[in-house]
Structure 1
Amino acid sequence: MGNATLRPTMNLRKLFLFVFISAHMVAGAPHKSAAARSRTSLAKAIDVILEDPAISRAHWGISVTTLEGKPLYAFNDGQSFEPASNAKLFTTAAAFAVFSPATRFTTKVISRGSIDPQGTLDGDIILEGAGDPSISGRSWPYAGKTERPDPPLQALDALADQVVKSGMVRRVTGRVVGDDRWFPFERYGAGWGWDDLQWEYGAPVSALSVNDNVVYLDLMPGEKPGDPIAATWNPPVPYYALENGALTGPAAPKPELGLDRQPGSKIVRLYGVLPVNSKGVHLALAIEDPAEFAALAFRQILIDHGIAVVGASAAEHSFPFSTTEFLKEVKMPLPSNLASGRPLAAPVEASAERVLATYASPPLSQDLMVVNKVSQNLHAELILHDLGRSVLNDGSTAAGARVVRQFLMQAGVDPSDFLFFDGSGLSPQDLITPRAATTLLVYAARQPWGGEFRATLPIAGVDGTLAARFQQSPVKAKLLAKTGTLAEVNTLSGYLTTRSGKTVVLSILCNDHDPAGDGARKATDRIIEAIYAAL
């Protein structure tokens, strides 16, 4: 009887447990199927976009994850792509990890030689760089767009003012020297196109960088067709020689001008036609040797401030000495975890040298915002070199790339998922996978500096390189992402708040698209909108 009584009780309990679990499984099923349906819907929408004949022959890779890193959608996410300026995400994230956001760079004016009681410096006056990207007329902090309210050489003017007010030097018997030895003399990244080097986006890297290492050439038409066009340099430093063969043409909707400067040359050749009704053309040309240009400009500024200078201007460089193959050096482990602490100003080397003036940059966080918001190539390269100099006491490209690599490995990015030869993404040899970008972005979101890092990214339809995109889209102001563009490369990686209110992490990389037209960009925008709607 005892056993007969127990058995029905046990069966009832099992039956109740079965009904309870089944009910909860049925209740939970719609939630799981809804999420699955969203991912399926997204996959189908992206398939349709990528089947468009205008972009179907391009190489696409996509990674979408939750803010915690859970995969939501992947397409070729483990394949390698040229990142273009998406490389700046990796450089700037490493900078946030290594440096304090309040870090400043200091440029010095130093006397080299003895100074007599009358203020005669028997020797050289040195303008000594330490990797500061801010020596220009650019306004700080960034406020929605690039503004240059101050003269290009205002920082050099401020340094000359300090020298005069110190009262120590009134005459220099020697030279004015631009000293960029804080970094090795490695002006260009591996694989940079020679036809990029004359323009602002291909400006050379130097520890002594002035006005973003460019000069502006302002062109205005003459009074009537056939007249020569007027050309002026800003700043008016006699660095380049202009061969001006361009003429004023009849009224037309746009100019037909050509400009050429061969690598290593200081002769700029201008040709073509500028319509008589033109409001003018403004060109930014890269400097050949930034330290040389800085010395030439500073010498004239010192003279204008009443300091007599007998000698000429000159540049002092520290040439590379490493014979280690680049990739082998980059893959060497660091001696310890990432740590800064080195002063970001070149040390005064000898007792005969005296600091006459200093110029401190804005906080590094402000420049990191410029790098990502407007995709400033030179500043990204300077930050890469600053990383190497600070962590390894070596301001070379390889040392900077080595620091970035170590940081990314610590962030959980697979070392086979990235390869960097520069800091800006201008090198066609740079490679990343889409999942490398999303892994980095997920990691950054969890760091104490994650909010500041995210704030450096362009906002869709609002500012930076995304100001003109997504203007009429539901994505406007909900996407914070870094753009990347080369001739056949279009990339976009960042954070998106979707229609459901969730934040997802995404990376869309497109290589080998037709460089004529903007089909790849339009397809990328449609993919973003599909992700927004589905998730």
Structure 2
Amino acid sequence: MRDRQQQQSSHRMYRRALRPASYLLVLLLIGLSANGVVAQEGQESSALEIPEVPEVPAIEEVERRDYPELERAIDRVLSDPELQRAKVGVHVEDAQTGEVLYSHLADEPLNPASNIKLITAATALDVLGPHYTFSTELATNMRSERSIDDLFVIGSGEAFLLFKDVLAWAGELRLQGIDTIAGDIIIDESAFAEGYLPPGYETRDTDASYRSSIGALSVNFNTVTTTVTPGAVGEPGEVRLDPPQGHIEVVNRTRTVRGSLARVQVSAIPTEEGTRIEVGGTIGQGAQPVAVRKRVDNPTEFAGAVVARAIKMVGIAFDGEVRPGAAPAPEVRQRLHVHNSSPLIDTIAAMNKWSNNFMAEQLLLATARGPGEPATWPQAIGKAREFMVSAGFDAETFSLHNGSGLYEGNAVSARQFVSLLRYMRGHAFGPEFIASLPIAGVDGSLRNRLREPHVAGNLRAKTGTLNNVTALSGYVQSRSGRQLAFSILINDPPRRAWVYRPHQDQIAQAIANFDE
């Protein structure tokens, strides 16, 4: 009877967590869309009042029993000679009672890669609440019947701002009868302190989109997609940038050849003005278009150029400059339009499902914003540490360096991740947290993994991958009906860490198939 009650309780928790996160997740599957949408008016605030988060009961130590079949199944995987040369932390607990079912080097702090996003998501939910929205304000210092002087665009750190949103703003101004901007387009990025690179990002020099810069006003994840299509044989291929703007310089060295093969290389090179995209190689006349996404180096100039292009696309005349600057005080400026983001939970779900580093850094930094004060990284890391300590963590036993888990500097143990998972299960916003995780064999970064019976559609977990790290932490219902929380961290194996995902999956399968 007790097992049946536990199983029914478990099913209820998962039914709550399985509700759709948002239609916005589709955008990350189909790419960046340029279709316009109608923005809503409103202030930067939560859509609903955030209830006071109740005190989560302290996690009590439960006497451990032996589960030899589970131990043998996991030990068999860990006995692989290559894993013997790696650092591996594994910890499994009953998510409700805290009983330890299995533990191996569970207290050793390891680099968790993108599992750090679990801490970022939990911190953002705890500090801001799932219904929090970001606003971007368009304002002017002077307006006549059909024209304005300067256009101020005031960002607040939204992580899911797309070109279609910017185009909708421009359309709104045009509908208001504005046909001329006589002054400049001024980007107010004062919501975030200066500096575009999150901590740790300076240790690498790559143009990859996963190393995106951040900014208070950021469009399309501060990345640009370069699409190359074939031209006439012997002529250069055609190059298109998305989103359209005049900020990025393009150097096209491609050549169209006969056949259907494409050998195209795209590089993003920092310049004093911003970013230069260099495109080379060959593309067959019968080849499919090649699309490559790269980071941009000056988010403010880039966003301003996107705004300027959208303004012109809807027929508003503009011949001024695009530059950073501070907007006039609210009581002085004239508000033209306010764009409100979707609720925070949509961004958290997209971040966790697809392991988006840009979103993670933007969200963590946003937790540090105060009234009239720009958010700084020391404050943001402090917010996450405060949350972890309030959740029962010893501040001396873990290290937080950034919000995404990219590169080095973060160190958390497998037992600590399981403690976080258990804590969030009882949190007021636990259902939103659980629903944000990828589902095995179904979606996100687990859509092509763990498709075996009883695991697919059952296990929810955050993935993490670096050259020397692979991580997997989450929840699963065992065959005996228990809700289990687990963490599997692998550091410094002899080969690239992704090679050991099958080992990780075998451990996860053993946990899911646990049957008393």
TM-score scaled by length of structure 2: 0.81
String of CA shifts for 1:317-347, please: whole Å, max 9, x gaps.
Answer: 8xxxxxxxxxxxxxxxxxxxxxxxxxxxxx9
Structure 1 residue 410, shift from structure 2 partner: 0.4
The answer for the alignment partner of 1:182 in structure 2 is 191
CA contact (8 A) 1:417 1:436 kept: no
String of CA shifts for 1:226-280, please: whole Å, max 9, x gaps.
Answer: 543322112221222222223345657x744333333445222223333455322
CA contact (8 A) 2:190 2:374 kept: no
The structure 2 residue matched to 1:230, chosen from 218, 238, 241, is 238
The answer for the alignment partner of 2:104 in structure 1 is 75
The CA RMSD over aligned residues, in Å, is 2.4
CA contact (8 A) 1:186 1:397 kept: no
The answer for the alignment partner of 2:18 in structure 1 is none
1:126 aligns with 2:152: yes
The answer for the alignment partner of 1:220 in structure 2 is 229
String of CA shifts for 1:160-203, please: whole Å, max 9, x gaps.
Answer: 22223334x44333211122111012211222266565222111
**Aligned partners of 2:124, 2:497: CA distance in 1, in Å?**
35
Structure 1 residue 447, shift from structure 2 partner: 1.2
The answer for the alignment partner of 2:265 in structure 1 is 258
Letter paired with 1:110: A
The structure 1 residue matched to 2:251, chosen from 221, 228, 243, is 243
Letter paired with 1:487: N
CA contact (8 A) 1:261 1:267 kept: yes
Q: 1:136-215 alignment to 2 at 5 Å?
A: 136=162, 153-167=163-177, 169-192=178-201, 197-215=206-224
The answer for the alignment partner of 1:107 in structure 2 is 136
**Aligned partners of 1:310, 1:77: CA distance in 2, in Å?**
61
1:42 aligns with 2:70: yes
CA contact (8 A) 2:74 2:510 kept: yes
The answer for the alignment partner of 2:460 in structure 1 is 480
String of CA shifts for 1:449-489, please: whole Å, max 9, x gaps.
Answer: 11111011011001111011012343111211000111121
Question: What is the DSSP-based 3-state SS (H/G/I as helix, E as strand, rest coil) of the residue aligned with 2:367?
Answer: helix
CA contact (8 A) 1:372 1:457 kept: yes
For structure 2, the residue ranges without an aligned partner over 5 or more in a row are 1-63
Question: What is the DSSP-based 3-state SS (H/G/I as helix, E as strand, rest coil) of the residue aligned with 2:421?
Answer: helix
The answer for the alignment partner of 2:412 in structure 1 is 432
Distance 1:438 1:106, change over 3 A: same
Question: What is the DSSP-based 3-state SS (H/G/I as helix, E as strand, rest coil) of the residue aligned with 2:513?
Answer: helix
| Bigger shift: residues 287-296 or 101-110 | 287-296
Letter paired with 1:260: S
Distance 1:510 1:316, change over 3 A: farther
The answer for the alignment partner of 2:294 in structure 1 is 285
Letter paired with 2:128: F
**Aligned partners of 2:328, 2:125: CA distance in 1, in Å?**
28
Question: What is the DSSP-based 3-state SS (H/G/I as helix, E as strand, rest coil) of the residue aligned with 2:192?
Answer: strand
Structure 1 residue 295, shift from structure 2 partner: 1.3
1:273 aligns with 2:273: no
Structure 1 residue 206, shift from structure 2 partner: 0.6
**Aligned partners of 2:478, 2:174: CA distance in 1, in Å?**
58
Letter paired with 2:449: R
Question: What is the DSSP-based 3-state SS (H/G/I as helix, E as strand, rest coil) of the residue aligned with 1:491?
Answer: strand
Report how many aligned residue pairs link the two structures: 449
The structure 1 residue matched to 2:341, chosen from 361, 381, 406, is 361
The structure 2 residue matched to 1:64, chosen from 83, 87, 92, is 92
String of CA shifts for 1:134-168, please: whole Å, max 9, x gaps.
Answer: 211xxxxxxxxxxxxxxxx221122122223334x
Letter paired with 1:437: F
Question: What is the DSSP-based 3-state SS (H/G/I as helix, E as strand, rest coil) of the residue aligned with 1:64?
Answer: strand
For structure 1, the residue ranges without an aligned partner over 5 or more in a row are 1-34, 137-152, 318-346
Runs of 4+ in structure 1 displaced over 6 angstroms? Answer: none
String of CA shifts for 1:492-527, please: whole Å, max 9, x gaps.
Answer: 000011121111110111111245484311110011
Distance 1:216 1:44, change over 3 A: same
**Aligned partners of 1:231, 1:51: CA distance in 2, in Å?**
51
Letter paired with 1:51: S
Structure 1 residue 48, shift from structure 2 partner: 2.1
Structure 1 residue 393, shift from structure 2 partner: 4.2
**Aligned partners of 2:256, 2:135: CA distance in 1, in Å?**
45
**Aligned partners of 1:463, 1:419: CA distance in 2, in Å?**
30
Question: What is the DSSP-based 3-state SS (H/G/I as helix, E as strand, rest coil) of the residue aligned with 1:42?
Answer: helix
**Aligned partners of 1:511, 1:183: CA distance in 2, in Å?**
33
CA contact (8 A) 1:291 1:316 kept: no
Distance 1:304 1:475, change over 3 A: closer
Q: 1:487-498 alignment to 2 at 5 Å?
A: 487-498=467-478
Letter paired with 2:336: L
String of CA shifts for 1:337-360, please: whole Å, max 9, x gaps.
Answer: xxxxxxxxxx96154311111101
CA contact (8 A) 1:194 1:263 kept: no
Structure 1 residue 420, shift from structure 2 partner: 1.5
CA contact (8 A) 2:66 2:101 kept: no
Give aligned-pair identity as a percent.
Answer: 29
CA contact (8 A) 1:414 1:436 kept: no
**Aligned partners of 2:343, 2:262: CA distance in 1, in Å?**
40
CA contact (8 A) 2:131 2:344 kept: yes
Question: What is the DSSP-based 3-state SS (H/G/I as helix, E as strand, rest coil) of the residue aligned with 2:213?
Answer: coil
**Aligned partners of 2:224, 2:311: CA distance in 1, in Å?**
20
| Bigger shift: residues 377-386 or 273-282 | 273-282
TM-score scaled by length of structure 1: 0.78
Distance 1:106 1:244, change over 3 A: same
